[in-house]
Chain A
Amino acid sequence: MSIDWQTFRLTLELAITVSAILVAVGLPIAYWIAFSAWRWKFLVESVIALPIVLPPTVLGLYVLVALGPYSPLGRWWISLTGHTLAFTFAGLVIGSILYSLPFAVQPIAAAFAAVDRRIIAASATLGASPLRTFFRVTAPLSLPGILTGIALSFAHTMGEFGVVLMVGGNIPGVTRTVSIDIYDRVQASDYTGANQTAVLLLLLCFALLATVYGLHRRAWIFGPVK
């Protein structure tokens, strides 16, 4: 067996980091999208949905150039950390967050919007603060949507390729993810190794998704009853 376990550990770390940050960032954004009455809200929604249609090469280009050492933003980052975003794990995390943002925000926003407003109003009339209402009423009722958002952003990051190829620099243990490893093996005629790695990735992703969707079903059946 010639599986490079380091790439699997790295890819899992990347996917976990990105989906954790996306939940934290995605919840308030989704809440705002679901409940704001602002007339121009659709513009923000469009910006958030952009990565779905944008090729990863565009994001890669921006991380390299707009966040590179010749831009003010890039120089600020360098003065902060001492190195460029490209070729670092942090660079991959930022690229992936932008790339997967709609996959986290959209299901969560849809779930929030589907919560019966009368229940939220009832919670408020009973004296609960908006924050308490959110954590005791809105969020628990939206759990399936939140889980879907986490699962999708996780899966999307696991399978990410274009952004990583453009900004990663293929450094073992830092930016060489499973998808890059598979690509390299195919280019170097190592079909056996590529196949073993690909099968393992498939099984792993299936197991993870099946676990989440299994939980999802339970949430549908028992969640609202509790």
Chain B
Amino acid sequence: MNPLARANRFVTLTLLVCAVSCPARIWPQESKSAAELTIAAAADLSSALPEIAQRYEKRSGVKLRLSFGASGALTQQIQNGAPFDLFFSADMDYPRQLIASGTADSATLYQYAVGRLVLWTPANSPLDPQHQGMKALLDPSVQKIAIANPEHAPYGRAAVAALKQSGIYDQIKDRLVLGENVSQAAQFVESGNAQAGFVALAHAAAPTMEGKGKYWIVPPDTYPPLAQGVIVVSRSQRKKEAKDFLEYLQSPEISQLLVKYGFTISAK
């Protein structure tokens, strides 16, 4: 066989192998064997949800795949066909948007917790947010204040509302830097690039953050409540498993866990 023909045969073979194997790569859910749920979750759950998922996997054998992001960004992805089964939002408005557009199932909407906003500074900061509260931000050493982007992150909107309520918004608004979501806002402060930031209590109180910072819980009556909703996506092929997981979320065990991670469970 001449080398050209051999090369040709090799290319044809490679193409054939690709044609057979690629669809499985592109649409992995078709080859799903074990029960598996794909979950989109607000960034404030990035500490609590992995622990919940671990417990649930042990208990039920259902595997949970987690993606975190800003609630608004995740809403966009779901509206445009992202293959999620469940969506944990940091507010109730984004799930309602999904219901309105027919991409989520209204009967499954459940408020699993209320988030808390905190003002956070690194441990070695000269500021004392616990005693000074919002006034700490007026200190001249504060050059940058990190918040989540209020355009698509509920914690960003809460931070702006609380700053406006306290009357210092206009004084500090030129010092605001926007994180893509509340986790990035926390990271801006943790890396020392911003001197203070508004993050989720779930970040500030997370075990991994112990000793790294000081925080002050922003009075909850100064911003619209961060009521957090979870909802099943209409397109999900795993509605049964999704609903089972939602049921598990309502157990006292999980409520306690969420409280440990800095969420409040409201009486319904």
- The chain A residue with its CB closest to the CB of B181 is A187
Q: Which residues of chain B have C-beta atoms less than 8 A from A84's C-beta?
A: 143-144, 192-193
Q: State whether B192 touches A68 (Cβ < 8 A).
A: yes
B183 at interface, CB cutoff 8 A: no
Q: Knowing A83-B143, A169-B188, A184-B149 touch, does A68 contact B76 (C-beta < 8 A)?
A: no
CB distance from B122 to the nearest CB of A (A): 9
Q: Knowing A84-B144, A187-B151, A189-B76 touch, does A171 contact B191 (C-beta < 8 A)?
A: no
- The chain B residue with its CB closest to the CB of A64 is B191
CB distance from B198 to the nearest CB of A (A): 14
B238 at interface, CB cutoff 8 A: no
B96 at interface, CB cutoff 8 A: no
Q: Knowing A83-B143, A170-B177 touch, does A187 contact B191 (C-beta < 8 A)?
A: no
A8 at interface, CB cutoff 8 A: no
CB distance from B22 to the nearest CB of A (A): 24
Going nearest first, the 4 A-B pairs with the smallest beta carbon separation are A169-B177, A170-B178, A86-B193, A69-B192
CB distance from A169 to the nearest CB of B (A): 3
A93 at interface, CB cutoff 8 A: no
Complex interface residues of chain B between 166 and 185 (CB less than 8 A to chain A) = 176-180
CB distance from A208 to the nearest CB of B (A): 29
Q: Which residues of chain B have C-beta atoms less than 8 A from A74's C-beta?
A: 192
CB distance from B193 to the nearest CB of A (A): 4
CB distance from B243 to the nearest CB of A (A): 28
List 14 A–B pairs whose Cβ atoms lie within 8 Å, in order of A's numbering. A64-B191, A69-B192, A69-B193, A87-B177, A169-B144, A169-B146, A171-B178, A184-B151, A184-B152, A186-B76, A187-B70, A187-B72, A187-B73, A188-B152
Q: State whether B180 touches A171 (Cβ < 8 A).
A: no
Q: Which residues of chain A have C-beta atoms less than 8 A from B177's C-beta?
A: 87, 169-171
Q: Which residues of chain A have C-beta atoms less than 8 A from B193's C-beta?
A: 64, 68-69, 84, 86-87
Query: How many A residues touch the partner, as a band?
Result: 10 to 19
Q: State whether B188 touches A165 (Cβ < 8 A).
A: no
What is the CA–CA distance of A187 and B73 in the complex, to the nearest angstrom?
5
Q: State whether A170 touches B149 (Cβ < 8 A).
A: yes
> C-beta contact mask, A99-113 vs B, less than 8 Å → 1, else 0?
000000000000000
> C-beta contact mask, B145-162 vs A, less than 8 Å → 1, else 0?
010010110000000000
CB distance from A61 to the nearest CB of B (A): 9
A70 at interface, CB cutoff 8 A: yes
Q: Which residues of chain A have C-beta atoms less than 8 A from B73's C-beta?
A: 187
What is the CA–CA distance of A191 and B176 in the complex, to the nearest angstrom?
26
- The chain B residue with its CB closest to the CB of A170 is B178
Q: State whether A87 touches B76 (Cβ < 8 A).
A: no
> C-beta contact mask, A173-200 vs B, less than 8 Å → 1, else 0?
0000000000010111100000000000
What is the CA–CA distance of A83 and B144 in the complex, to the nearest angstrom?
9
A124 at interface, CB cutoff 8 A: no
A114 at interface, CB cutoff 8 A: no
- The chain B residue with its CB closest to the CB of A185 is B151
B104 at interface, CB cutoff 8 A: no
What is the CA–CA distance of A130 and B191 in the complex, to the nearest angstrom?
47
Q: A70-B191, A84-B143 are in contact. List 8 more A-B contacts (CB 8 A).
A: A64-B188, A65-B191, A70-B192, A84-B193, A87-B144, A169-B144, A169-B178, A169-B188
What is the CA–CA distance of A86 and B188 in the complex, to the nearest angstrom?
9
Q: Which residues of chain B have C-beta atoms less than 8 A from A87's C-beta?
A: 144, 177, 193-194
- The chain A residue with its CB closest to the CB of B146 is A169
Q: State whether B191 touches A188 (Cβ < 8 A).
A: no
Quick one: which of A65, A86, A169, A186 has the most chain B CB within 10 A?
Answer: A169
Quick one: which of A68, A83, A170 has the most chain B CB within 10 A?
Answer: A170
